[in-house]
Amino acid sequence: MIITCPNCNKKFKIDISLIPDEGRDLQCGSCNHVWFYNIQEKNNEILELKQEIISEDIETKAEIKEDKIEEKQQQEEIIKTEINKKKKEKNLEKQKNTAILKKTENKVSKFFSYLIVFIISFVALIILLDTLKTPLINVFPGLEIILFNLFETLQDIKLFIIDLT
Residue 16: which pLDDT band, with cuts at 50, 70 and 90? confident
14 found inside a domain: yes
Identify the domain containing residue 146 by its residue range: 132-165
Q: Does residue 136 sit within a domain?
A: yes
The stretch 34-48 carries a mean pLDDT of: 66
User: Looking at residue 105, what is its pLDDT?
Assistant: 76
Q: What is the pLDDT of residue 51?
A: 52
* Residue 96: band (very low, low, confident or very high) from pLDDT cuts 50, 70, 90: confident
More confident residue, 48 or 119: 119
In a domain, 139, yes or no: yes
Residue 54 has pLDDT above 70, yes or no: no
SS3 25: strand
Q: Report the pLDDT averaged over residues 45-61.
A: 61
Write the pLDDT tens digit of every residue in 68-89.
898 899 999 999 999 999 999 9
Q: Is residue 24 part of a domain?
A: yes
- Is residue 113 predicted with pLDDT exceeding 60? yes
Q: How far apart are CA 16 and CA 21, in angstroms?
A: 10
Give me the helix-helix angle, 51-131 and 143-164, nearest 10°. Answer: 130
Please report which confidence band the pLDDT of residue 164 belongs to, taking 50, 70 and 90 as the band edges: very high
Whether residue 44 has pLDDT greater than 50: no
The phi, psi pair for 4, rounded to 5°, reads -110, 135
CA angle 78, 83, 86 (to 5 degrees): 125
- Domain-located, residue 59: no
- Residue 8 is assigned to a structural domain of this protein: yes
Q: Is residue 18 part of a domain?
A: yes
Burial (CB count <10 Å: 0-12, 13-18, 19+), residue 141: exposed
Query: Is-contact 30 7, C-beta < 8 A?
Result: no
Evaluate if residue 159 carries a pLDDT over 90: yes
Strand pairing partners for 2? 13
Structurally, how many domains does the chain consist of?
2
Asked whether residue 60 is domain-assigned, the answer is no
